[in-house]
Chain A
Amino acid sequence: MAASIIDFFLKPGNELEPGGRPAAPVSEDENEPSVTCPNCHRGVPQSQIWDNLYCCPRCGHPFRMNARQRIALWCDPDSFEEADADLESCDILGFPGYPRKLETARGASGEADAVVCGTAAIGGRRCALFVMEPNFMMGSMGALVGEKVTRLFEAALAERLSVVGCTVSGGARMQEGLISLMQMAKTSGAVQRHADAGLFYTALLTNPTTGGVTASFAMEASVILAEPAATIGFAGARVVEGTTKKKLPPGFQTAESLLAHGFLDAIVPRAQQRDTLALLLRLHEGGGSHG
């Protein structure tokens, strides 16, 4: 009955009466936890970060977003349909402590593994979508991540859909050894077959995108985008410095320096990501060609 009664009454839509004090915004709760911004080192109330696309409202530093937040940011409401949600990693090599680690990661992230795949609409255009989950072992790529990404590209090929991806990864998952390294070849193959069919793939690289993921599907997109200040590289800066015994230039492995050196196509802040992706999907409707 309630729903029908609510529908009885129309909304008058009168303009707000002028006068009096301006309506104060809902202000900070004194008990609300605040987060120290790693960039400007100031404490920021949690809710202000949430209200600002998970960026520091003072300096704009992008805090890490989890996969579901990213999906909500990019996709049209209720358009995301998850695929392969029931797949889970297993301890193929009997690596000590790995099963326990997987369990902890599942609890910490609320996800089955380090990537969430499916189909969604962005700006009204349907696409295949994968988003990596930083809270699951820092988005490391094991057999399951490789398998899910591969399946996504194969499904996109079958349906002739563009692929949109968001990467955040510490690289290959060492607990799965060689099997995880093999995922680089496997996913690359799937990306290539998708590209050969004249279909479009764009990836947005977020902080950090490193190791095997950078060396495979992250850098294989036709249009490679990145978030401001993201660290993108293969081996970590300290490893490179230690191996080469050379001092690295300032800004090494940042999105800005990669853009300056031609490894990226654009740096896109969060507020523009949805529109940028929608534009790319619109421009590549009906297929595109890989670079």
Chain B
Amino acid sequence: MFSKILIANRGEIAVRIIRACKEMGIATVAVYSEADVDAMHTALADERYCIGPADAQESYLNEERIVSAALVSGAQAVHPGYGFLSENAHFAALCRKNHLVFIGPPAETMRALGDKAHVKALMAEAGLPVIPGAMAIHSVGDALAAAGQIGYPVMLKACLGGGGRGIRLVNAEGEMAAAFSAARAESEAAFGSAEVYLEKYVHPARHIEVQILADEGGSAVCLGERDCSVQRKNQKLIEESPSPAMDGPQRAALFARVTAAVKKIGYVGVGTLEFLCAPDGEFYFMEMNVRLQVEHTVTEALTGIDLVKWQIRVASGVRLSFSQQDVDLSGCALECRICALAPGTVQFLHVSGGPFVRFDTYLMTGSAVTPYYDPLVGKLIVYASTREEALRKMKAALCELVITGVPNNIEEQIALISREEFRRGSYNLDFMRK
């Protein structure tokens, strides 16, 4: 087992990882920017290194400084969390070159699975249904031809994309030229590559993702699905597991195919396969996230399995101590993301309590929310034996959660989970547009 891990991240996820390490007896090394001198992750870790100014490019995205901190501190592994360098194959390779274990897939796997057009082909080969589409489109002509074959509406997406950037919806032939150049420009700016691909626009759809965990011995388990259809501008707001849109046989069939595919590609670690669920109940594979996700907590609440600890164990060579039969997916877990709407300093913080209520945050009284990073300040997670009970619990917990000094979306979340469509579980990706 690693005796010291550097956490190359900040905010609630850095705190989450440090907590797992503390339980496991692993010493922790925090890296922080000048804006995070007083941050909770900085204080909680056993050691801390300032790696640059507030600008993420100069700190949390600066690969050399993070690797230097790891080497100076004597850390044996680097946990990238989510975002920042978590899906950066170059960083994973740099870690390996410096004999640091990158807690995540090897650089080659990351490159292969990070290219969205390539991964679709790979997964189709491994037996997963994929959205009809065309790989690497190089000209408007290509795009028009491909769209003509598939049928409008279609989506243009960045090959290296994520987080909703580099995506354009094309409803008819006439929109293609403008959308194509816009998607390419945005993709180039955001991901350094203008490569885009095209796929059928499945609408109205639900975003359902499947959590997997696989070890080096070839064992893989599926830890249930998460319904993340409540999104605004492709940013998730509420996640739940299980999805109210799926039934038992559908679930069993999907899990079997996912587990088989993951084993086939030889993936090791935690991963998430994202699917679009069409109104007719068809599932289409979209992409695979080769890292811990923000909403991993929903799966943890549902299954009782600590994903961060297992991620670290698997990276250290530990084999899974349970099989698919041991995974209990009964009950219902819900997560509401609490985001800052503007920078501020926490004047007063009260965290909701009670059984099966969890609030993952980096805030404490006096914490500053700066404009430099992701606005996510916390995640409120509840678990109950039924969806109805979970909804009641979430509402009560949201009402009890108080963060003053930082404008936030707690009240909006209360309104969202109170909407009839959400209570019925019949929502889809259009939920936030209504």
Point out residues on A near B: beta carbons under 8 Å. Answer: 1-2, 5-6, 8-9, 11-29
Chain B interface residue count, Cβ-Cβ cutoff 8 angstroms: 28
For B40, what are the chain A residues with a Cβ–Cβ distance below 8 Å?
5
Q: Are B76 and A23 in contact (CB-based, < 8 A)?
A: yes
Q: Are A14 and B22 in contact (CB-based, < 8 A)?
A: yes
Mind listing 16 A-B residue pairs with CB under 8 Å? A2-B37, A2-B38, A2-B43, A5-B40, A9-B43, A14-B23, A14-B24, A16-B1, A16-B3, A17-B1, A17-B313, A19-B1, A20-B1, A20-B2, A23-B1, A24-B101
As a 0/1 sequence over residues 61 to 94 of chain B, the CB contacts with chain A under 8 angstroms (1 = contact) are: 0000000000100101000000000000000000
For B71, what are the chain A residues with a Cβ–Cβ distance below 8 Å?
26, 29
What is the bound-complex CA distance between A20 and B71, given in angstroms? 21
What is the bound-complex CA distance between A22 and B77, given in angstroms? 12
What is the bound-complex CA distance between A20 and B38, given in angstroms? 34
Contact A21/B24 with A16-B1, A26-B99 known, Cβ cut-off 8 Å: no
Q: Are A5 and B316 in contact (CB-based, < 8 A)?
A: no
Q: Are B99 and A21 in contact (CB-based, < 8 A)?
A: no
Q: Are B43 and A8 in contact (CB-based, < 8 A)?
A: yes
What 6 A-B pairs are tightest by C-beta distance, nearest first? Answer: A20-B316, A16-B25, A5-B43, A27-B99, A14-B25, A21-B317
Closest Cβ–Cβ distance, residue A4 to chain B (whole Å)? 9
Residue B26 is within 8 A (CB to CB) of chain A in the complex:
yes
For A22, what are the chain B residues with a Cβ–Cβ distance below 8 Å?
1
Q: Are B26 and A16 in contact (CB-based, < 8 A)?
A: yes
Closest Cβ–Cβ distance, residue B354 to chain A (whole Å)? 24
List residues 1-46 of chain B with CB under 8 A from any CB of chain A.
1-4, 22-26, 37-38, 40, 42-44, 46
For A1, what are the chain B residues with a Cβ–Cβ distance below 8 Å?
38, 366
Residue B324 is within 8 A (CB to CB) of chain A in the complex:
no
For A18, what are the chain B residues with a Cβ–Cβ distance below 8 Å?
1
Contact A17/B25 with A2-B42, A9-B43 known, Cβ cut-off 8 Å: yes
What is the bound-complex CA distance between A131 and B313, given in angstroms? 50
Residue B98 is within 8 A (CB to CB) of chain A in the complex:
yes
What is the total of A-B residue contacts with beta carbons within 8 Å? 68
Residue B318 is within 8 A (CB to CB) of chain A in the complex:
yes
For B74, what are the chain A residues with a Cβ–Cβ distance below 8 Å?
26
Sample of 17 more A-B contacts, CB < 8 Å, known A12-B23, A23-B1: A1-B38, A2-B43, A6-B43, A9-B44, A12-B22, A14-B22, A14-B23, A14-B25, A16-B1, A17-B1, A19-B318, A20-B318, A21-B316, A23-B76, A24-B101, A25-B76, A29-B98
Q: Are B22 and A19 in contact (CB-based, < 8 A)?
A: no
What is the bound-complex CA distance between A13 and B26, given in angstroms? 9
Q: Are B366 and A16 in contact (CB-based, < 8 A)?
A: no
Closest-by-CB residue of B relative to A9 is: B44
**B interface, over-half SS:** loop
Q: Are A19 and B313 in contact (CB-based, < 8 A)?
A: yes
Q: Are A23 and B43 in contact (CB-based, < 8 A)?
A: no
What is the bound-complex CA distance between A13 and B366, given in angstroms? 27
For A26, what are the chain B residues with a Cβ–Cβ distance below 8 Å?
71, 74, 76, 99
List residues 363-400 of chain B with CB under 8 A from any CB of chain A.
364, 366
What is the bound-complex CA distance between A265 and B410, given in angstroms? 78
What is the bound-complex CA distance between A19 and B313, given in angstroms? 8
What is the bound-complex CA distance between A2 and B41, given in angstroms? 11
What is the bound-complex CA distance between A16 and B26, given in angstroms? 6
For A8, what are the chain B residues with a Cβ–Cβ distance below 8 Å?
43
What is the bound-complex CA distance between A28 and B101, given in angstroms? 14
**Which of B25, B98, B99, B317 contacts A15, CB < 8 Å?**
B25
Closest Cβ–Cβ distance, residue B31 to chain A (whole Å)? 14
Closest-by-CB residue of A relative to B2 is: A23
For B313, what are the chain A residues with a Cβ–Cβ distance below 8 Å?
17, 19-20
List residues 298-325 of chain B with CB under 8 A from any CB of chain A.
313, 316-318
List residues 119-172 of chain B with CB under 8 A from any CB of chain A.
none
Closest Cβ–Cβ distance, residue A106 to chain B (whole Å)? 29
Most buried by B among A17, A28, A29: A17
Q: Are A20 and B317 in contact (CB-based, < 8 A)?
A: yes
What is the bound-complex CA distance between A16 and B22, given in angstroms? 9
For A19, what are the chain B residues with a Cβ–Cβ distance below 8 Å?
1, 313, 316-318
Most buried by A among B1, B74, B318: B1
For A20, what are the chain B residues with a Cβ–Cβ distance below 8 Å?
1-2, 313, 316-318
Closest-by-CB residue of B relative to A24 is: B76
**Which of A5, A13, A15, A25 contacts B38, CB < 8 Å?**
A5
Most buried by B among A8, A16, A26: A26
What is the bound-complex CA distance between A12 and B1, given in angstroms? 18
Closest Cβ–Cβ distance, residue B69 to chain A (whole Å)? 12
Closest-by-CB residue of A relative to B36 is: A2
Closest Cβ–Cβ distance, residue B286 to chain A (whole Å)? 33
As a 0/1 sequence over residues 272 to 302 of chain B, the CB contacts with chain A under 8 angstroms (1 = contact) are: 0000000000000000000000000000000
What is the bound-complex CA distance between A16 and B317, given in angstroms? 15
Contact A17/B43 with A1-B366, A26-B76, A26-B99 known, Cβ cut-off 8 Å: no
Closest Cβ–Cβ distance, residue B349 to chain A (whole Å)? 14
Closest Cβ–Cβ distance, residue B95 to chain A (whole Å)? 12
Closest-by-CB residue of A relative to B71 is: A26
Closest Cβ–Cβ distance, residue A45 to chain B (whole Å)? 13
What is the bound-complex CA distance between A19 and B46, given in angstroms? 22
For B23, what are the chain A residues with a Cβ–Cβ distance below 8 Å?
12, 14
Closest-by-CB residue of A relative to B73 is: A26
Closest-by-CB residue of B relative to A6 is: B43
Closest-by-CB residue of A relative to B26 is: A16
Q: Are B99 and A11 in contact (CB-based, < 8 A)?
A: no
Closest Cβ–Cβ distance, residue A21 to chain B (whole Å)? 4
What is the bound-complex CA distance between A2 and B317, given in angstroms? 36
Closest-by-CB residue of A relative to B27 is: A16
Closest Cβ–Cβ distance, residue A178 to chain B (whole Å)? 51
Closest Cβ–Cβ distance, residue A30 to chain B (whole Å)? 8
What is the bound-complex CA distance between A5 and B101, given in angstroms? 30
What is the bound-complex CA distance between A21 and B25, given in angstroms? 15
For B37, what are the chain A residues with a Cβ–Cβ distance below 8 Å?
2
What is the bound-complex CA distance between A2 and B318, given in angstroms? 36
Contact A23/B25 with A2-B37, A11-B46 known, Cβ cut-off 8 Å: no
For A29, what are the chain B residues with a Cβ–Cβ distance below 8 Å?
71, 98
For A9, what are the chain B residues with a Cβ–Cβ distance below 8 Å?
43-44
What is the bound-complex CA distance between A18 and B101, given in angstroms? 18
Closest Cβ–Cβ distance, residue A11 to chain B (whole Å)? 7
Closest Cβ–Cβ distance, residue B4 to chain A (whole Å)? 8
What is the bound-complex CA distance between A15 and B25, given in angstroms? 5
What is the bound-complex CA distance between A110 and B155, given in angstroms? 66
Closest-by-CB residue of A relative to B319 is: A19
